[in-house]
Structure 1
């Protein structure tokens, strides 16, 4: 800029010769060229961390196929409790089979084994999973305890249990059971009503995964069949104080909305034993929500119970 001012003063006060004028014109041209070159050569920083877009084609996401038989692929919103319930297993066993260091942390698309190692998976359908209990959607987990269940600590599934029945012998069918209920519908397991009361809601595969039975707060809730408690707590939203009993390798039952629980995880129970008191935890009225699940899939309890 000082050169321009000098040339301007010179052009105003002192007559310039042809040579001087040529020198000034040349200097001015060189100055303009330098400024333009400086602007054209401003550095461009590639902050993408990869190659230029013009040379990098967008790669479409590769869809994951269905999980193999005996495995489950984690979906958004899943918890280990939910996965265990939907596959008829103890959540501690699933944790052991998959060597999970923190069972409260599972990742979307993670592949989890949901049957015991070495189990026959020939009859299982790949990728099949059922909806959670209840109609309110999400299931949330509570912190897992530190006491492992029998079999889970060793990384193997506990054998089928029938409570106090010796040598896993099948309990005899109830004398009052109809041909399409009790042992007739469930093989070796004969189910009984956990409470006696009016039916407030029946099974619906889309909105109600069991039956709702009315009663008074504090009424005894009884085990529907011999088995072992695989869950007792209130960590699954929508169920309140919940008990889940596994009866054998095929069947489990769930008892929700209790006021208080009389058994704990790992306890062996017998048919007709008091396991809880009826209440309205996580419910707008006193009732028992009762479910029967066959290999994790909810089935209509009325087809497995004798006439009330």
Structure 2
């Protein structure tokens, strides 16, 4: 056997011993990457909204808090016994995570009134359209009560509009919290995944005419600056179903601003959307 062959065998054997020895000395399990539709989301899962309560600050609205914490504003109103027109006040402590073991509140069932709260102490006077029309708002709360309504995971995502990508997601504090897609006025905007429409309106500053869809107990998506909205609150929609038309409400140019939230935290939509 040649000297080169002897050297090759010896080197291979030494490397094998090093690798095996390294594995034998490991005291923790080998790292496993948890994938969601083929994408690693552990980096933002740890930073998602986990608090059970939220203290209302000046300028807050119930809807804005719901969007920030990944909830349907109707659920927040019900959990905190806040009647229409959903007045809240600075310093008020709100429950923002459902307690599955908690018994239904008698107050919420009978009157829905909060205790000794002056309605004139509202932080922001809500716009009527911010909470949908009376017909959609009074639809059974049983729909939002049943956890089985939503899947544990989103089966698939798709692009909400056809157009060029104008702006990407940014992790900067004042950066873009979603992506912007170009288009012409009136172009169709579709649901990016199956879900229930939990908000339609223009009460959130900077978003114009807005649609928010809840896809699971942890995922929401938002479609901003619409010209027209084609769906109503509490309506179930399918991925690819037209929900609005592209416009420029709340912005200077025609575009779709699209956001995805995981447990209330803004995440990069491109992690989920198929590559174009």
Shift in CA distance, 88/102, structure 1 to aligned 2, threshold 3 Å: same
Mapped to 2, the partners of 1:257 and 1:119 lie a distance apart of 39
SS across alignment from 2:76: helix
Per the alignment, residue 159 of structure 1 pairs with 147
Q: Does 1:196 align with 2:162?
A: yes
SS across alignment from 1:276: strand
Shift in CA distance, 119/78, structure 1 to aligned 2, threshold 3 Å: farther
> What are the superposed Cα offsets for residues 119-161 of structure 1, whole Å, 9 maximum, x if unpaired?
69xxxxxxxxxxxxxxxxx9984234443343269xx734253
Would the aligned equivalents of 1:192 and 1:225 in 2 still touch at CA under 8 Å?
Answer: yes
Q: Does 1:142 align with 2:131?
A: no
> What are the superposed Cα offsets for residues 68-126 of structure 1, whole Å, 9 maximum, x if unpaired?
94111111111001000011111111101111134432111111111223269xxxxxx
SS across alignment from 1:82: helix
Per the alignment, residue 18 of structure 2 pairs with none
Would the aligned equivalents of 2:260 and 2:269 in 1 still touch at CA under 8 Å?
Answer: yes
Aligned pair partner of 2:237 in 250, 264, 269: 269
Mapped to 1, the partners of 2:195 and 2:273 lie a distance apart of 16
Would the aligned equivalents of 1:139 and 1:237 in 2 still touch at CA under 8 Å?
Answer: no
Per the alignment, residue 63 of structure 1 pairs with none
Further displaced range: 241-250 or 200-209:
200-209
Mapped to 1, the partners of 2:251 and 2:272 lie a distance apart of 25
Mapped to 1, the partners of 2:126 and 2:204 lie a distance apart of 6
Further displaced range: 247-256 or 99-108:
99-108
Mapped to 1, the partners of 2:271 and 2:82 lie a distance apart of 37
Mapped to 2, the partners of 1:113 and 1:97 lie a distance apart of 7
SS across alignment from 2:98: coil
Q: How many residues align?
A: 200
Shift in CA distance, 149/293, structure 1 to aligned 2, threshold 3 Å: farther
Mapped to 2, the partners of 1:198 and 1:115 lie a distance apart of 37
Q: Does 1:209 align with 2:191?
A: no
Shift in CA distance, 149/297, structure 1 to aligned 2, threshold 3 Å: farther
Per the alignment, residue 125 of structure 1 pairs with none
Displacement of 1:234 = 1.3
Q: Does 1:96 align with 2:74?
A: no
Mapped to 2, the partners of 1:150 and 1:298 lie a distance apart of 29
Per the alignment, residue 75 of structure 1 pairs with 57
4+ residue stretches of structure 1 with deviation over 6 A? none
> What are the superposed Cα offsets for residues 167-187 of structure 1, whole Å, 9 maximum, x if unpaired?
x5x7xxxxxxxxxxxxxxxx4
Displacement of 1:300 = 0.4
Whichever structure has more helix as a proportion of its residues is 2
> What are the superposed Cα offsets for residues 191-245 of structure 1, whole Å, 9 maximum, x if unpaired?
1100121111110132211000000111110000000000011121211110000
Shift in CA distance, 237/307, structure 1 to aligned 2, threshold 3 Å: same
Larger Rg: 1
> What are the superposed Cα offsets for residues 243-267 of structure 1, whole Å, 9 maximum, x if unpaired?
0000010101000001000000000
Mapped to 1, the partners of 2:54 and 2:142 lie a distance apart of 18
